[in-house]
Amino acid sequence: MSTHAALERFGREAMLRFCRCYLGSNDDAEDAVQEIACKVLEAGGAASHPRAWLYALARNHCLNALRTRARRRVDPTSPSRLDLAADATGHLTRLVREENRAHLGEAVAKLTESQREILLLRYVEDLSRDEIAEALALPVSIVKSRLFEALESLRAHI
């Protein structure tokens, strides 16, 4: 599969969601996805693991954007904020979901940045451990241990 086909296959919405988690705003995420698409087209050839390559490209782009933002002394929004849409059926259901979301948000905020990033890639973006390792340029064993530690920490807080 070509890298351009990878962007189409894994979808614009997935890339928007991923970039929004890093950048904190829809507008910044839209701009990032446009620039990532251009980079994919410029790369031309096929990567050995297109999905992992695409997420690595998106992650690097977002981190560079955050560094640029910091140099301009603009306060970046929290990249750990997950945009979880809840389709509540009633007021009580909505209240319970909001409370659960708040508890989960507090527990996730206590994790290290690397643990949050791995959880995001694994459970929001649905990357395999091998793909995460490739995207983050880490050994698979480190990915597994950080994922385990993050889940244990979440279980302890919830």
Averaged pLDDT, 69-78: 58
Residue 47 clears pLDDT 80, i.e. is over it: no
pLDDT value of residue 8? 65
Distance CA 64, CA 71 (A): 11
| pLDDT tens digits, one per residue of 86-138 | 444 567 777 777 887 888 888 888 899 999 999 988 988 888 999 999 999 99
Dihedral, 110, 147, 157, 86 alpha carbons, nearest 10: 90
Beta carbons of 78 and 69 less than 8 angstroms apart = no
The mean pLDDT of the chain is 79
Higher-confidence position of 139 and 102: 139
Walk me through the domains of the chain, giving residue ranges and CATH numbers: 1-79 (no CATH), 88-158 (1.10.10.10)
Beta carbons of 3 and 40 less than 8 angstroms apart = yes
Averaged pLDDT, 52-63: 87
Q: How confident is the model at residue 35 (pLDDT cuts 50, 70, 90)?
A: confident
CA-based torsion, 140, 145, 50, 37: positive or negative: negative
Higher-confidence position of 20 and 101: 20
Residue-by-residue DSSP string for 24-60: -SHHHHHHHHHHHHHHHHHH-SPPSSHHHHHHHHHHH
| pLDDT > 70 fraction of the chain, expressed in percent and rounded | 80
